[in-house]
C-alpha cells in the first residue's frame, strides 16, 4: 500500500497484488483482483471520503455500499495503514489504531 497526503485528506492506494493477497483470506469477496483501489480519508478524523477503482485504464468512482463487506474491510485496513504511515495522531487516536509492536 502507498499513502500520501492530499490537501486535508489522505489517500491510500491498494494495488492489484495487495488485492489478490487480501482475497486469499476472503475468496468470495466480490472484489476484482485485477483492480487497483484508491481510498481517500479525512485527515482530521479518518472518515472515508472517496473510493476509486482502476482497471485496464478505466477509472470509476465507487460508493462504499457497492463492494459489500469486503470493500468496507479493505478500506478500514487502508485507512489504518495510511494513518500510521503518515503519523496522523488525531486519526490514530479517534480510530483507536494501535501501532504494530516490533
The pLDDT tens digits of the residues spanning 43-55 come to 999 999 999 999 8
pLDDT over threshold 90, residue 75 = yes
Domain assignment present for residue 9? The answer is yes
Q: What are phi and psi of 4, to 5 degrees?
A: -150, 155
Domain assignment present for residue 91? The answer is yes
**pLDDT on residue 100:** 57
Look up the domain containing 30 and give its range: 2-95
Q: What is the mean pLDDT of the chain?
A: 90
Q: Which residue in 46, 80, 41, 48 sits closest to 66, CA to CA?
A: 48
Domain assignment present for residue 100? The answer is no
The CA R_g of the chain, rounded to the nearest whole Å, is 13
In the chain, the number of structural domains is: 1
In terms of DSSP bridges, do strands 58-62 and 2-6 run parallel, antiparallel, or are they unpaired?
unpaired
pLDDT over threshold 70, residue 29 = yes
**pLDDT on residue 41:** 97
Cα–Cα dist 78/97, whole Å = 12
Domain assignment present for residue 102? The answer is no
pLDDT over threshold 60, residue 102 = no
Amino acid at each position: 500500500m502507498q499513502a500520501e497526503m492530499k490537501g486535508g485528506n489522505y489517500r491510500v492506494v491498494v494495488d492489484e497484488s495487495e488485492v489478490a493477497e487480501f482475497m486469499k483470506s476472503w475468496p468470495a469477496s466480490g472484489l476484482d483482483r485485477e483492480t487497483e483501489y484508491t481510498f481517500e480519508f479525512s485527515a482530521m478524523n479518518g472518515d472515508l471520503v472517496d473510493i476509486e477503482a482502476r482497471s485496464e485504464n478505466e477509472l470509476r468512482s465507487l460508493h462504499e455500499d457497492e463492494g459489500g463487506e469486503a470493500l468496507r474491510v479493505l478500506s478500514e485496513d487502508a485507512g489504518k495503514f495510511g494513518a500510521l504511515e503518515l503519523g496522523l495522531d488525531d486519526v490514530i487516536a479517534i480510530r483507536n489504531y494501535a501501532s504494530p509492536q516490533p
